[in-house]
């Protein structure tokens, strides 16, 4: 009896899941970001993945599929650098987990251990079409911790997570200086501390490698290998180029310092912020560094005093790969919305499609997740954002957000 009831329940559950995953979205304009704009098109989502896409005249909507309609359809938006889920909107001690102050270098801090799936700001950004978040530890300490990539749904972080360790956050320049005689107190000290720790990680890695390369000799090597060190292990993954260093630097001198560090230790680097990156476009291009640019509407003071609304456009024109971020806010607003930030870039030299790339394809490529998200093509995740007009216009509304075929927001915002 009990077993039958359970079976029935399971059947009901499966039916509900599959029903919600069978979805068709019609759009007057569909920006697939994988080809030309599809006018009067349709996207078919089956089992959470894009199953077909094309003109409504050519693609039949299977019977029983739920159908949504919108003026403009885009891929689900990607926020390439955020602290949403760690920095809560109450802004009180109990909901601020984006920055650990106890020590200037803590690469072992995992974002998954701080992410609150029920945080109100996740729902807020999801309402504006954001389906993927690269979130985690904030800039503000020399090495503040790890970042991760999540979808903006999920009851637990395990449900939400796409990439548990997406980067390690490092901050150069005034953002991570400490006062009161504590280190690092200067830019020079920042580098000496970083270099010493990376050298340590290098030795740690070298001491691990013999054991890993020759498992049959594991027993012999064991006595020479160091005990597990979480921080050094995290940095070792950077030196192995498994995880990029996400270096926050705004002033040109700090960006140049980041390049110097990369040259010495040869890791994958993503430049974060980059308010004065327009002064070093050639250097960044030569080093092959992608940029997750500061929010267009970030406050233009401190290290960002020479920021420009046109930086994203200037970097793209110079041939750099650029994505947009909501960034890190410590007061009001507690988070920015990446859609709004890209809009200002659209209006300042980048144009509509260039700005849409910042929060779709380019973001996915920089974060290494373009096999799943960032564009609409058969086999990719069924993540969509629906709008009643040009997504970047102030007066347009986001009228729907879909993640893996599930409608996760329907209110007009």
Partner 1 sequence: MLKIACTLLILILAQWTPVLAQEVPHAFTGAKIIPVEGEPIEAGTLLVEAGVIKALGPAGKVAIPATAKRFDLKGKVVIPGLICTHSHIGGIGGGDGSGPVQPDVRIYDSLNVRDSGFRRAVAGGLTALNIMPGSGHLLSGQTVYVKLRGSKTIEGLCLRDKEGRILGGMKMANGTNSQRAAPFPGTRSKSAALMRAEFIRAGEYRDKLAAALDDPEKKPPRDLRLEGLVEVLEGRRVVHHHTHRHDDIMTVLRLSREFGFRVVLHHVSEGWMVAEEIARAKVPCSIILVDSPGGKLEAVNLVFKTGGILEKAGVLTAFHTDDWITDSRLFLRMAGLGVRGGMSREAGLEALTLAGAKMLDLDKRIGSLKVGKDADFVILNGDPLSVYTKVLETWVEGRKVFDRGDPDDLLHAVGGYGAGVDQEPYHCCFGEEGGGR
Collect all residues with Cβ–Cβ distance below 8 Å to 121 and sequence separation of at least 6.
84, 85, 87, 88, 89, 334, 335
Residue from 10, 60, 300, 368 in contact with partner 1 (CB under 8 A) = 300
**Residue 336 in tokens:** 């920015």
Binding residue (CB under 8 A) for partner 1 from 26, 110, 262, 336: 336
Confirm or reject binding of residue 343 to partner 1 (CB under 8 A): yes
Q: How far apart are CA 156 and CA 79, in angstroms?
A: 20
Tell which one of 17, 18, 91, 103 touches partner 1 (CB under 8 A). 91
The stretch near partner 1 (CB under 8 A) out of 5-13, 30-38, 98-106, 218-226 is: 98-106
Contact of 244 with 267, CB cutoff 8 Å: yes
Neighbouring residues of 375: CB distance < 8 A, sequence distance ≥ 6 = 32, 33, 34, 75, 360, 361, 364
What's the closest the beta carbon of residue 103 comes to partner 1, in angstroms? 14
DSSP β-bridge partners for residue 171: 248
Nearest to 37 by CA among 323, 352, 368, 402: 352
335 near partner 1, judged by CB under 8 A? yes
Q: Which stretch binds partner 1 (CB under 8 A): 25-33, 40-48, 264-272, 343-351?
A: 343-351
297 is a contact residue toward partner 1 (CB under 8 A): yes
Q: How far is the CB of 228 from partner 1 (least distance, A)?
A: 30
User: Nearer Cβ to partner 1, position 52 or 252?
Assistant: 252
Q: Residue 235 CA to chain centroid, in angstroms?
A: 20
Return the bridge partners of 33, or none: none
# chain residues binding partner 1, by CB under 8 A: 55
172 makes contact with partner 1 (CB under 8 A): no
| Window 121-150: residues binding partner 1 (CB under 8 A) | 121, 124-125, 138, 140
As a whole number of angstroms, the distance between CA 360 and CA 355 comes to 9
Indicate which single residue of 337, 363, 384, 408 sits in contact with partner 1 (rule: CB under 8 A). Answer: 337
Count the Cβ atoms, other than its own, within 10 Å of residue 250.
28
CA distance 213 to 230: 20
Query: Where on the chain is the footprint of partner 1 (CB under 8 A)?
Result: 87-93, 96, 98-99, 101, 120-121, 124-125, 138, 140, 175, 276, 278-279, 297, 299-302, 304-310, 329-337, 340, 343-344, 346-348, 392-397, 413
């Amino acid at each position: 009896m009990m077993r039958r009831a359970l079976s029935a329940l399971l059947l009901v559950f499966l039916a509900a899941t599959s029903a919600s995953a069978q979805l068709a979205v019609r759009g007057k304009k569909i920006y697939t970001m994988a080809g030309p704009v599809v006018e009067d098109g349709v996207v078919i989502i089956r089992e959470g993945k894009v199953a077909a896409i094309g003109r409504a005249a050519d693609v039949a909507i299977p019977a029983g599929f739920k159908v949504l309609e919108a003026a403009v359809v885009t891929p689900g938006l990607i926020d390439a650098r955020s602290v949403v889920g760690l920095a809560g909107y109450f802004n009180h001690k109990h909901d601020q987990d984006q920055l650990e102050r106890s020590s200037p270098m803590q690469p072992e801090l995992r974002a998954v251990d701080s992410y609150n799936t029920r945080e109100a700001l996740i729902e807020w950004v999801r309402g504006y079409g954001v389906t993927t978040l690269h979130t985690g530890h904030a800039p503000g300490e020399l090495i503040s911790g790890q970042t991760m990539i999540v979808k903006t749904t999920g009851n637990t972080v395990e449900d939400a997570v796409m990439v548990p360790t997406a980067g390690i956050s490092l901050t150069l320049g005034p953002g991570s200086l400490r006062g009161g005689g504590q280190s690092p107190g200067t830019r020079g000290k920042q580098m000496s501390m970083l270099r010493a720790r990376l050298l340590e990680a290098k030795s740690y890695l070298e001491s691990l490698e013999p054991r890993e390369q020759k498992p049959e000799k594991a027993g012999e090597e064991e006595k020479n290998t160091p005990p597990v060190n979480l921080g050094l292990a995290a940095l070792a993954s950077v030196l192995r180029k498994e995880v990029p260093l996400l270096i926050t630097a705004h002033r040109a001198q700090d960006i140049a310092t980041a390049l110097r560090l990369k040259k010495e230790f040869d890791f994958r680097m993503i430049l974060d912020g980059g308010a004065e990156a327009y002064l070093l476009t050639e250097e960044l291009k030569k080093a092959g560094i992608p940029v997750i640019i500061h929010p267009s509407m970030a406050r233009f003071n401190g290290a960002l005093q020479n920021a420009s609304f046109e930086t994203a456009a200037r970097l793209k024109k110079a041939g750099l790969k650029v994505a947009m971020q909501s960034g890190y806010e410590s007061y009001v607003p507690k988070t920015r919305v990446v859609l709004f930030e890209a809009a200002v870039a659209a209006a300042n030299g980048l144009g509509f499609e260039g700005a849409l790339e910042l929060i779709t394809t380019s973001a996915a490529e920089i974060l290494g997740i373009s096999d799943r998200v960032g564009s609409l093509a058969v086999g990719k995740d069924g993540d969509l954002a629906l709008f009643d007009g040009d997504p970047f216009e102030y007066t347009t509304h986001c009228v729907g957000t879909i993640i893996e075929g599930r409608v996760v927001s329907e209110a007009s915002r």
